[in-house]
Amino acid sequence: MGGEASWWQSAVFYQVYPRSFADSDGDGVGDLDGLADRLDHLKDLGVDGIWLNPVTVSPMADHGYDVSDPRDIDPLFGGMAAFERLVTAAHARGIKVTMDVVPNHSSSKHPWFQAALAAGPGSEARDRYFFRDGRGPRGALPPNNWESVFGGPAWTRATEPNGKPGQWYLHLFDSEQPDLNWDNPEIFDDFEKTLRFWLERGVDGFRIDVAHGMAKPPGLPDAPQVGSEILRHTDDDPRFNRPNVHAIHRDIRAVMDDYPQAVTVGEVWVHDNAQWAQYVRPDELHLGFNFRLTRTEFDATEIHQAVQNSLDAAALQNATPTWTLANHDVGREVTRYGGGEIGLRRAKAMAMLMLALPGAVFIYNGQELGLPDVDLPDEVLQDPTWERSGHAERGRDRCRVPLPWSGDAPPFGFSTNADTWLPMPADWAPLTVEKQAADPGSMLSFFQRALELRRGRSEFAGHQIDWLTVPSGALAFRRRGGGLVCVLNAGTGPMALPSDELLLASAPVSNGQLPADSAAWLV
C-alpha cells in the first residue's frame, strides 16, 4: 500500500438497507428521499461513505438483487430524481456514495430473459443465460445436480413458445434470478455501460454482489457433493470461485481505472487466504470483504485468529484489509453474542476492536443503535429462503427490520404508516435515535465518540499491528506506527490494563481494571 493513500483505505462505510432506513412517502418502505432527509445522522455519526443496497429497477423477488433495469432507479425508492438529490446532499456533507451492482444474474423480468424465453432453444437470446436440455426421459430432470444457495434445485424448467415444457435455466439464487453467461461478450459490454452510467452521475464506487461468482466451469459438471448448507458453500464448489472470474474482474478494473477516485469492494465468500487474495490483486478489486469476524464467536482465541487471518490474507497482495461485524445477510451481533445486556456489551467491545484495526470498516445500519435481531412471525417473512427451504430456514428478515428514529411506539418515526414492510417491535422504544442522541451513555453516543477518535487521532496511523502479551481470555494489539493499544477482555472477570493513558472504554474502568466483555483504547 505504498504511495499516496486513497480515501477508501481507511474509510468507515455505512451500509444502508434502503427499505429499512427511512420512509419519506408513507408507504411503509424506506426510500432515497428518506435517506437524504436523515443524512445528518450519518454526518454526526462520522462516516466517510455510504454503501447503498440495490435501488435499481426490480420486481423485488429478492428485494432488489433481481435487477430488471440496472440503469434506472426503482419508483419504490423515488426514481432517478431522488437518487440525484441523494448524491448531491451526501456530497455536500462530505459523504461518498457507493452502490450495489449485481453482475451474476438478472431478474427473470429483464428484457433479455423475456426475449430468451420467447426465442426458443438454440437462439442468440438464450446464449446470454444458461439454458440447457434436461436429463432423463423427455428431459424431465435438471441438467446437473446443482442446488440453489437459497435452497432447492438451481434449475427451473422453462415453458417453450409452443406451450410445452422445454429447456431448463440456471439460477444459483432464486428462480426469478437467472444466471448470466459471462462467456458471452454482450454481458460485459452491457455491464460496462452500467458502471459508466453511474460513475458519470457522481457515484463514488460499487459493492459487487457475488464477486466470486459469474464464471462457470465448462460443461457445468455435477457437484461432487450435494446437500450444501443454505447460504453457504465451500471453496471447491463448482458454482463459485472459478479461475475465469479473475479475467472478469480485470476487465472491470480497466473501466474503474478511468475514474481513479472510485472504489470497488467485492463480496468474496472464499475461505482459503491465497484464493481470496487473488481477488484484490492490483488489477482486480480495490477491496474485498473478508467475513471471518462475522463468523466468529465472542472468544479471544477465535477473534485473534480471525483478525490475524484477515491481515495475512490482505498482506498476500499488499491490499487493504476490510472489517465488518454484520450486514443484511448475517444476524446482528448483539444477538449473536448472547442477546440482552451481555450481547450489547460484547457488541460494543467488538466494535472497538474493529475500529482499532487498520483498513476499511463497514457498519450495518442499526449497528450504531445496538439493535438486536427480531423474532418475526412466520406470516410476515419475505426472504426467498423461507419458501425455497420449505420453511426450514427462516432467512434474513430478522436483521432487516426498519430503524427506530423517534417516539415511543412503532413505527418510531421511520414512516407515517404503522404498517411497515416488516413489523417493528414495541420494545425498541429505548433504542430510538432520538433517545440515544440525548443519552451520553448510549450505544449511539459511544459510536460517535469512537469514530471521532478514529478519525482525529494520530495514534490510529499505520498499516500493521503487533500483538501484546495479555492473560488468557483476552487479547491486545498495538498499531505499528501510530501506537494505539486496543485491549479486549473476553474472559470471565476483570483484568488489569497497561499503565498507558485510557482514551476510551466500552464499560466503566475502575482502579485500572477492565471488566469482562469489554474493550479499551490506550495511548
Q: Active-site residue numbers?
A: 209, 267
Integer Cα distance of 242 and 213 in angstroms: 8
Specify whether the CB–CB gap between 168 and 132 falls below 8 A: yes
- DSSP string for 417-465: -SS-SSPPPGGGGGGSHHHHHT-TTSHHHHHHHHHHHHHH-GGG--SEE
Query: Alpha carbon 210 to chain centroid distance?
Result: 10
Buried b (16+ CB within 10 A) or exposed e, 328-347: bbbebbbbbbbeeeebbbbb
Radius of gyration (C-alpha) of the chain in whole angstroms? 23
Among 320, 265, 263, 312, which Cα is nearest to 292's? 312
Tell the burial category of 401 from Cβ atoms under 10 Å away from its Cβ (0-12, 13-18, 19+). buried
Contacting residues for 427 by C-beta, under 8 A, at least 6 apart = none
Peptide bond between residue 221 and the one before it cis (omega within 30 degrees of 0)? no
DSSP 289: -
Joined together, the cell numbers standing for residue 212 give 466470486
